[in-house]
Amino acid sequence: MEIERNIMDELVAWKKSPHRKPLVMQGARQVGKSWVMKRFGERYYDNMLYLNFDTMPGLKDVFVQTKEPAKILRALSLITGREIVPDSTLIVFDEIQECNEALNSLKYFCEDAPEFHIVCAGSLMGVALNRQGASFPVGKVDFTSLHPATFSEYLRSASPQLYQTYERIDGIMNVPEVIHQQFIDAYKIYLLLGGMPEVVSVFCDDHNFDEVAKIQSGILQSYTLDFAKHIDNKDIPRVFQVWNNLQDQLARENKKFRFADIKKGARAREYETAIEWLCLAGLVNRVNAVETPRLPLSAYKKGGAFKLYLNDVGLLCRKFNLDYRSILQGNRLLTEFKGVLTENYVLMSLVQQFGKEQYYWTSGNTAEVEFVLQYMDKIIPIEVKSEHNVKAKSLSIYRKTYNPDISIRLSTLNMRKDADLINIPLYLVDKIKEILNQV
């Protein structure tokens, strides 16, 4: 089964834009970038030219020999035997990070040949763009990011009828209890699956959790193979150390990243490059601490305090080596690991709705709110509870101290609003922006 992705609407808008530039799609390995670009071309263009720099090594020579779009297009047409028609052909450059000259050529396509529609992607685009630095054609390309499928994207494929009900939930409304429980059950399964398209597709076809585990293990292995292939030799051991220690950091009650947990006597400066590489590769998300929640949050980061989460909650389950029976046999999964699965799930959605720069609030060792969101002119605290027990002092302390206009609690309870506090069921986390726009 193919998994429909929300990003398709964004790509259609890009196609129609009079200010369109070559589009660079970022995202981790196996989140579905190639599939999305191909389907976009097949559905919305008369024809498509798909070019992969990894499987077509001779392709690089075209861009080494010339920077002129007209000459590049003639060469590509000769190589492929395909006609390239302005505004009618989608040109797809996949694994473009393998050719710096091709990346630089996007500037000339933007300036001299804007009538040609170009979409490009690569498994390690973030790393490649950082490596290029000043030579990258800043201002000459559009950017977008593809992440693992969200819960709502999963639901659209796994249970179309339930998804239709999901789409009808508008604003703050009580969900009928029987429907509420169906959503909770679907959410629990999603915690184990995550949003990697192949995982979701296989599960929707045969509901085989053992096959899901194999695919997830394969994805994790492909990530580690990238370490050896794309990282400087001196940095490889440290990247492995951070990656292999990630689940241990998150299993603690206090999830603040501690370098001493990697090895005794470890210092931040030893691992800064390793963490940056994992972030640029899209494999982890960094959430910085703030002690004073004021605008802009980026100006109030708390020194070097941060947490690292995985890019996909299903892969985190696999790193924890969790068995699917934990989900199917009640709430055990939701109470173990100190809520980290739920937090990771919530972060995945926040990143897609509001961007990768996310924060949490801490007040020394006395209180902590899992996320603080900067949206429009507001700072919104978001408390995350893995079940229906919502008694906790941290959000209460935050509200008394800072008196926010809006506070959010995510839990397995139904939706309701009490003064400034909105309780949103965990399965509706993808609708947070929509809800905020209505209150």
Is the model's pTM score more than 0.75? yes
Tell me the mean pLDDT per 10 residues along the chain, length 439.
94 98 96 98 98 93 97 96 96 94 96 98 84 73 97 97 97 95 95 97 95 98 91 93 96 92 91 96 97 95 93 96 72 67 97 97 90 96 86 91 97 94 97 95
Residue 170 DSSP class: -
pLDDT reported for residue 325: 74
Radius of gyration of the chain (CA): 23
CB neighbours (10 Å) of residue 251? 13
Closest to 392 (Cα-Cα) out of 366, 426, 360, 412: 366
pLDDT reported for residue 327: 61
pLDDT reported for residue 197: 98
Q: Where in the chain is the domain with CATH 3.40.50.300?
A: 7-145
Would you state the torsion angle of the CA atoms of residues 381, 385, 390, 393, taken in this order, to the nearest 10 degrees?
A: -50
Alpha-carbon span 361 to 256, nearest angstrom: 11
Q: Tokens 């292995």 sit at which residue? A: 221
Q: Tokens 């996949």 sit at which residue? A: 94
With H, G, I as helix, E, B as strand and everything else as coil, classify residue 236: helix
pLDDT reported for residue 134: 47
Please determine, looking at this structure, whether the domain spanning 7-145 carries the CATH number 3.20.20.70. Answer: no
